[in-house]
Structure 1
Amino acid sequence: MAVLWQDPPQEAAINRLVLWNIDLTLVDVAIVTRDAYAEAFRVVTGRPLVKLAPAMGRPDSEIVFETLAVNGIKAEDDHLPRFLSALAVAFADRRKRLTAEGRAMPGAKDALKAVAKLDGVAQSVLTGTIKSNAVLKLKAFGLDKHVNFDIGGYGEEVYPKATLLQVAQGRAKERFGTPFTAANTVLIGDSTRDVQAARIGGALMIGVASGRSMMGELREAGADLVLPDLSNASEVVAAVAGLTTPVDRKAG
């Protein structure tokens, strides 16, 4: 699958990493996702899906195990890889429904484009969605142009989200040669779980109250900045730039 991301010219050093949550931060495709889960469950178990475990910002790997459990299926060693494979196929089969039954979140496209213009920035995703489905979700709405999918963290990787954040930082360091820490990594997401991942994993956090959590909840959880949504691209850029610009301690 072709990826539109291209590394910047060699003289443009990458020294900012922006990681985006996907669902309810950049897109809302819940109807298609549920349908794909139902199909994958049927393929793997031979039974109809009665109850889908709530996402709540969790990775697909965790949702799969809970979904099997609440439907009375005892998980075996091969259940997870089989389910994730079936989920990828089921979601790809439904990709033409994404724009008809889903939506890009307000301002998402302009925000990604605007952040991409910041000096020294690389953008990727930190998501509970498996990689193939993450790519399809963003491509459906033209949100993939400024995203480097190779350095992201995804739902098939069985790590807590905070650890997955550190995995993404390591991939970015290997790609660009710059250490990424809590000083120059920003996570943008809509849930308190995202905030917890940033705090534990080592990143600055911009909460967006477009999904699971209210502005007050995001602030209370420890987000560095909270925005109502992504509709003001200049506000998003200012937030990323302000958090990742080194402060001259000698000034004044």
Structure 2
Amino acid sequence: MDPPQEAAINRLVLWNVDLTLVDVAIVARDAYAEAFRAVTGRPLVKLVPPLGRPDSEIVFETLAVNGIPAEDDHLPRFLSALAMAFADRRGRLAKEGRMMPGAKDALKSVSRLDGVVQTVLTGTIKSNAVHKLKAFGLDRHIDFELGGYGEEVYPKATLLQVAQGRAKQRLGTPFTAANTVMIGDSTRDVQAAKIGGAAMIGVASGRSMAAELREAGADLVLPDLSNASEVVAAVAGLTSPVDRKAG
């Protein structure tokens, strides 16, 4: 008797992290302040708002608004210092931050879909993204090696394609807009999905309101992740070519 065949992985789900799955803004700001002082020798006066941007972009803008001319080694030094500062504060994440409503059940429920693999597409650098999700027990269903992160100096739409390429290399399946879905809370996430080649589920729990997400082009918009069945149905419908043509 032949051994059972493993199910093919043919759905790629990309999660934004901040304000989609977790909110750890207080700890992140403290880590930025320490990293800024370590790199520049000056106290941080103004941190530019994230607004869905990658850490690499935030670093350059933060240096600029604080009157620090950017030098060639500033970005790698800052990101290294940021990783260390954040790791030193990882014990505060669950105490001073919060898991977004329904995040754990949504991840668990989506993981049960046939052929699905879940990863993250985030402006956060990889080590910090791992800390953020581990602090709330949200890392169990995430394959971090397939994701796209803030230390990779690309627009988020390009990072989406990088993640699709990593998934194809590992799993042997081509990932396109027909079987890739992104879940995020900002219009920047929507734009990245539309440009990069993925369906988009907007979650109105963070930076953008439901109407803004719809106007930006999200395929579906949910108020939050608290209805896991609704999240699963959205992912299933948007990663099934037959369903999408029928709709």
Fold agreement, TM-score > 0.5: yes
Helix, strand or coil: the match of 2:231?
Answer: helix
Partners of 1:92 and 1:117 lie apart in 2 by 31
Name the % identity: 87
Q: Which amino acid aligns with 1:151?
A: L
Q: Is 1:29 aligned with 2:24?
A: yes
Shift of 1:197: 0.2
After superposition, residues 40-119 of structure 1 pair within 5 angstroms as: 40-119=35-114
1:98-125 Cα offsets, whole Å, 9 max, x none, are 0110010000000000000000000000
Match of 2:119 in 1: 124
Partners of 2:141 and 2:244 lie apart in 1 by 33
1:184 corresponds to which of 164, 179, 184: 179
Helix, strand or coil: the match of 1:182?
Answer: coil
Match of 2:237 in 1: 242
Partners of 1:210 and 1:187 lie apart in 2 by 15
1:165 corresponds to which of 160, 166, 169: 160
Q: Which amino acid aligns with 1:20?
A: W
Pair 1:107–1:248, CA change in 2 (3 A): closer
1:147-185 Cα offsets, whole Å, 9 max, x none, are 000000000000000000000000000010000000000
Contact 2:237 2:243 in 1 (8 A): no
Pair 1:53–1:250, CA change in 2 (3 A): closer
Partners of 2:87 and 2:243 lie apart in 1 by 49
Q: Which amino acid aligns with 2:239?
A: T
Q: Which amino acid aligns with 2:10?
A: N
Partners of 1:134 and 1:44 lie apart in 2 by 22
Q: Is 1:200 aligned with 2:227?
A: no
Partners of 1:247 and 1:158 lie apart in 2 by 35
Partners of 1:215 and 1:15 lie apart in 2 by 29
Partners of 1:187 and 1:223 lie apart in 2 by 10
Gap regions ≥5 residues in structure 1:
1-8
1:72-130 Cα offsets, whole Å, 9 max, x none, are 00000000000000000000000000011001000000000000000000000000000
Shift of 1:249: 9.7
Q: Normalised by the size of structure 1, how large is the TM-score? A: 0.95
2:204 corresponds to which of 184, 209, 213: 209
Q: Is 1:16 aligned with 2:6?
A: no
Partners of 2:224 and 2:6 lie apart in 1 by 34
Partners of 2:243 and 2:119 lie apart in 1 by 28
Q: Normalised by the size of structure 2, how large is the TM-score? A: 0.96
Q: Which amino acid aligns with 1:131?
A: K
Contact 2:148 2:162 in 1 (8 A): yes
Helix, strand or coil: the match of 1:31?
Answer: helix
Partners of 2:41 and 2:210 lie apart in 1 by 42
Instruction: List structure 1 segments (4+ residues) > 2 angstroms apart after TM superposition.
Output: 248-251
- Aligned pair count? 243
Q: Which amino acid aligns with 2:34?
A: E
Shift of 1:246: 2.4
1:208-247 Cα offsets, whole Å, 9 max, x none, are 0000000000000000000000000000000000111221
Q: Is 1:218 aligned with 2:208?
A: no
Partners of 2:45 and 2:243 lie apart in 1 by 57
Pair 1:102–1:163, CA change in 2 (3 A): same
